[in-house]
Amino acid sequence: MVTNSELFERGQKVMPGGVNSPVRAFRSVGGIPNHIARGRGSRVWDVEGNEFIDYVQSYGASILGHAEPVIIEAVRDAAVDGTTFGAPTEREVLLAETMVERVPGLEMLRLVSSGTEAAMSAVRLARGATGRSKILKFAGNYHGHTDALLVAGGSSVAEQATSDSAGVTAGAVADTVVAPYNVVPELDDSIAVVCVEPVAANMGLVAPEPGFLQGLREACDKVGALLLFDEVITGFRLDRGGATSFFDVQPDVWCFGKVIGGGLPVGAYGSSAEVMQNIAPLGPVYQAGTLSGNPLATAAGLAAMSQLDASAYEILIERATYLASGLTEAITGAGVDVLVPQVGPLLGLFFGTEAPTNFEEAKALAENGRYKQFFRGMVERGIAMAPGPYEALFVSLAHTRDDLDQTIEAAAGAAAGVGDATA
Ligand SMILES: *Cc1c(COP(=O)(O)O)cnc(C)c1O
Is the CB–ligand 1 distance for residue 44 below 6 Å?
Answer: no
Examine the residue annotation and report whether 142 is marked as an active-site residue of this protein: yes
Q: Quote the CA–CA distance of 289 and 266 in Å, as a whole number.
A: 11
- Ranges assigned E (strand) in 76-202: 108-112, 134-138, 159-160, 176-179, 191-196
Task: Kindly compute the dihedral angle of the four CA atoms of residues 260, 125, 110, 278, in this order, to the nearest 10 degrees.
Answer: 150
Closest approach atom of ligand 1 to CA 233: 15
Helix (H, G, I), strand (E, B) or coil at 135: strand
Whether residue 135 contacts residue 148, with contact meaning beta carbons closer than 8 Å, is answered with: yes
Helix (H, G, I), strand (E, B) or coil at 343: strand
pLDDT at 154: 62
Q: How many CB atoms lie within 10 A of CB 407?
A: 25
Closest CA to 302 of 97, 24, 29: 97
Q: Quote the CA–CA distance of 6 and 151 in Å, as a whole number.
A: 35
pLDDT at 422: 44
Closest CA to 78 of 309, 259, 301: 301
Give the neighbor-by-neighbor strand order of the sheet with 159-160: 108-112, 267-271, 253-256, 226-230, 191-196, 134-138, 176-179, 159-160
Q: What is each CA distance from 136 to 126, 198, 219, 383, in whole angstroms? A: 12, 14, 12, 38
Ligand 1 centroid to residue 202 C-alpha, Å: 9
Q: Quote the CA–CA distance of 184 and 132 in Å, as a whole number.
A: 20
Is the CB–ligand 1 distance for residue 119 below 6 Å?
Answer: yes
Closest CA to 193 of 219, 220, 172: 220
Identify the segments of the chain with pLDDT beneath 70. Answer: 153-157, 420-423
Examine the residue annotation and report whether 258 is marked as an active-site residue of this protein: yes
Closest approach atom of ligand 1 to CA 202: 15
279: which DSSP letter? B
Q: Quote the CA–CA distance of 149 and 140 in Å, as a whole number.
A: 11
β-bridge mates for residue 350, sequence order: 339
Q: Quote the CA–CA distance of 18 and 8 in Å, as a whole number.
A: 6
Q: How many helices (H) and strands (E) does the chain have?
A: 12, 15
pLDDT at 305: 98
337: which DSSP letter? -
Q: Quote the CA–CA distance of 255 and 277 in Å, as a whole number.
A: 17
Whether residue 328 contacts residue 315, with contact meaning beta carbons closer than 8 Å, is answered with: no
Protein residue with its CA nearest to atom 14 in ligand 1: 232
pLDDT at 361: 96
Examine the residue annotation and report whether 81 is marked as an active-site residue of this protein: no
Length of the chain: 423
List the domains of the chain with CATH numbers.
4-67+309-415 (3.90.1150.10), 70-306 (3.40.640.10)
Whether residue 176 contacts residue 210, with contact meaning beta carbons closer than 8 Å, is answered with: no
Closest CA to 247 of 198, 280, 285, 193: 198
Q: Quote the CA–CA distance of 229 and 200 in Å, as a whole number.
A: 11
Is the CB–ligand 1 distance for residue 299 below 6 Å?
Answer: no
Ligand 1 centroid to residue 308 C-alpha, Å: 20
Is the CB–ligand 1 distance for residue 242 below 6 Å?
Answer: no
